Each structure stands twice: as C-alpha cells, then as structure tokens.
A and B are shown apart, each in its own frame.
With several copies, the nearest count.
Chain A
Amino acid sequence: MSWLGPEEWQAVALSFRVAICAALLSLPFGLAAAWALARGRFPGRGLFSALVHLPLVLPPVVTGYLLLLAFGPEAPAGRLLDALGLPLAFRWTGAVLAAAVMGFPLMVRAIRLSLEAVDRRLEEAAGTLGASRARTFATVTLPLIAPGLLAGLVLAFAKALGEFGATITFVANIPGETRTIASAIHAFLQAPGGETAAIRLTLVSIALSLAALLLSEWLAARMARRVGA
C-alpha cells in the first residue's frame, strides 16, 4: 500500500493499537458491569445503567471534556495514574481510555443480552457437580456468553476505530501519539481539498474493521459449530 505516507501509516498503526487495547481493556469492566445489570438486584441499578449508557447519549466532545476534568493532569485521578506510571494526558494511553469509554455502553449491552439468555439451569447443574460460583462462571457462563463477548469486542473495536470526538478533546491530536485514523480523517476534512487523503484513510479504516468483523464472524461460526447448533 505504497499510497499511504509514513505519517498515515503511523496513524493506522496507532489506531489499530488503540482500538485493540480499548476493546480488550474494557472487556473485564464491561463483563462486570453487564453482570451487575443482568443479575444484580441492588439499589441504584437504574442509575448505574444510565451511567453506563452516558457516553452514548452525550456528544463525544462532552465525554472528552468530562474525561479531561476527571483524568486531566490536575485532577486527582489523573495525578494518581501519572504517579503510578500511567500518564494519560496527551498519550496514546489516553486515547485508549477515551475510545474504551465511548465503546463501553455497546460492549456492556452485548454482554448483558447474552448473559440474560444463559440457561440458568446449566449453572445449577454445574453447582451440583461441585463447581464453585467462580468456577461455574468460568467454565459454564463464560463459554455460553462467548457470542456476546465477541460481539462486544467487535463493537468496541469498531467504535474505537471511528472515535475521534472524545479522543481529540481529551488527548488532542499529536502525530505518532494520539493521532488516530479517525482524527486524521477529521483533520483532512477540515481543510479544503483534503478529501482524497480522507478517502484513503477511510478505506483503510473500513478494511481494518472488515477484517475484525470477518474474524469475529468466523470465530462465532466456529463456536456455533462446536455447540452443534
């Protein structure tokens, strides 16, 4: 693909890294949140659900702004992470956080739907066979919600590839550090005549997500075959 310049390659590589990290990092949290929403009966469940959906409802810029407020270099959370050796501001790690937050509601919903469809009687059976709750979760629930996990990953990955509003607001657009494909496309579109470059990057973005999708479809089909359905 010689028609991509080195800066563009950088953006592609960065986007890919950010999207992968965002999808994988949000997986455990998404799982926990989905579990709480699907199985938990605690006060404030509705509020929690609303909180999870917030990044979907808010304009991305707002989300980015809120992230800046919460994790900026002057906010306590930001300082703490910085001290722990995980600086977020103007780093690609911050882009990961922004992308993860934006994709979070999608991931949670996918996992939650799968969780709600799990046949609880199988979990009962696992218990009578001697599996602790944790083991039941790992060996029965988790494999059964695999389609939801996969869907959640794909959605989060795709969202992360396309996200720029929150990202650019939170960590700006620094070539090689936080300039993802989406930010780059956006930048190109702002200037007259940037269309062709934008189209090139858009195609790359589509190719990346298509690859992720096909991979996920293939995995899902394999799982379905294994279950024999």
Chain B
Amino acid sequence: FAAASLAGPLDAAAELWSEESGHQTALSYAGSSVLARQIMAGAPADVFLSANEEWMDAVEADGRLVPASRVDLWGNALVLVSRASSPLPLAELPQALSDDRLAMALTEAVPAGIYGREALTALGLWEAVAPHVAETDNVRAALDLVALGAAPFGIVYATDAAAEPRVTVAATFPEESHAPIIYPGAALTVGPAEDFLAFLQTAPAQALFAEAGFTGPPGPAP
C-alpha cells in the first residue's frame, strides 16, 4: 500500500526488487488517508508507504505496525511553480497574484497543502495569500491548474514540478519554513515486507527516487 505520488519510481523499484529477490509485489496506490483507513479496517497489507507522518502516526497508534519497522524513506521539497519562466522571490507572491488564484492541495487535509500553508505562514505571507487560494483534491490537480493556465501560481512538490514540462519552478520554499516533508514507510507483517523496506533504503532504489526528484531520507532512521 503506497501513496499515489510515489507511483512512478516505486513501480520501477518494485520491479527491481522482484528480480533480485524473486518475490512478487502487489502495489496498491491511493491517497494516504484512504490507505490508512483501509489498514485500520483490517486490510491485508504488508507494507505501508505514506506521504505524510500523520497518517502513519494514526496507523501506528492503531497498533498495526510491526514494531520498530518504521523508517523515513524519502524527503521532498516544496516549490512555487508558474508558467512564466522568470523566478519570483517568495515575498512578492501576494503582489504577483493580485486577483488571481494560487493553486494548492487542500490546506487542511492533503500533506502538500498542509506543508504549503505552514511555509506561507512561517514566511508571513499566509494572511495575504489565503483569500486567493484555490484548493484542489491533490497536488497533481494543483499542478494541472497551473499547467493549463487556470492559475498563475501553484505550490507543489519538487517531484511534481520536475515531471511537468509546462511549468517552471519560480521559487523553492526554504526547508526550515515547514516541517520536513517525509515519506515514512513501515512493515505491517514480518518477513518479506521488512526485506522490501530494507531494499528501498539501498542505493539502487534510492537512485530511482532521486531521479524522480525525491531527496534522500532527511535524517537517520529513528
């Protein structure tokens, strides 16, 4: 069970692992919230790769994890994208927006939205920007709004920005403006699940993710 935003590199990694270990993997992508609820309802999942820590916390609190299997696998950066190719200092965002919209994922629910809000707040811009925010279901939709010109700016992950040729990164949010963006993973069953998690931390696997724009694990596993 994996967050949908991991789909591309994870597929490749899983293939690689299957070749190496001979184990078949079945990957089920969906939003982290959906996955977490399924797991808490008893879904027969072996590994849970979440896009944020909150849902992993929830699953952990529910007692579903193999103790001590939880690791932070990847990190990501938050960027401001636009269709114009010129960089924009973040502080000028409110002026640049004027009457237009800033596309973000749901600022109270979806991780990318939560991080974005946090960052804007930290930068003291949230008050000015909030009335102009157009929230979308997920990061991809926010990106689409920008790509299609419906909104001039959007806040998305660096990974998304890298995959969409129609937008350019106007600014990157400083790391310290928001809580670290962490993709935690954990095993739900013992055995191969733990092996897979371990494999994801190996160099070849991390390389696949780095290619897609993910940063490495932000710190040593707790």
Contacts and interface: CB of A to CB of B under 8 A. Distances in A.
Interface stretch (A105-113, A138-146, A188-196): A188-196
Interface in B125-171: 133-138, 140-141, 144-145, 148-151, 159-160, 162-164
Given A68-B145, A187-B29, A191-B54, A169 B150 contact: no
Interface string B52-74: 00110110000000000000000
B27 interface: yes
A172 B27 CA distance: 10
Most chain B C-beta atoms within 10 Å of own C-beta, residue among A89, A164, A165, A190: A190
B54 A72 contact: no
A72 B150 CA distance: 6
Q: Name the interface size band of chain A.
A: 20 to 34
Contact of B28 (A72, A172, A194): A172
B31 interface: yes
A77 to B, nearest CB: 13
A92 interface: no
Nearest to B165: A193
Interface string A27-70: 00000000000000000000000000000000001001100110
B36 A175 contact: no
A159 interface: no
A75 to B, nearest CB: 8
B133 A74 contact: no
A90 B101 contact: yes
Interface string B31-42: 101111110011
B88 interface: no
B4 interface: yes
A191 B8 contact: yes
27 contacts: A61-B141, A65-B37, A68-B144, A72-B42, A73-B41, A73-B44, A90-B101, A90-B151, A168-B34, A168-B136, A168-B137, A169-B137, A171-B134, A173-B29, A173-B106, A174-B28, A175-B27, A187-B4, A187-B30, A189-B140, A190-B4, A190-B106, A191-B8, A191-B54, A191-B140, A192-B33, A192-B212
Given A189-B33, A193-B163, 19 more contacts: A68-B144, A72-B41, A73-B41, A90-B150, A165-B137, A168-B136, A168-B137, A169-B144, A172-B43, A173-B134, A174-B28, A174-B101, A174-B133, A190-B7, A191-B8, A191-B54, A192-B58, A193-B8, A194-B7
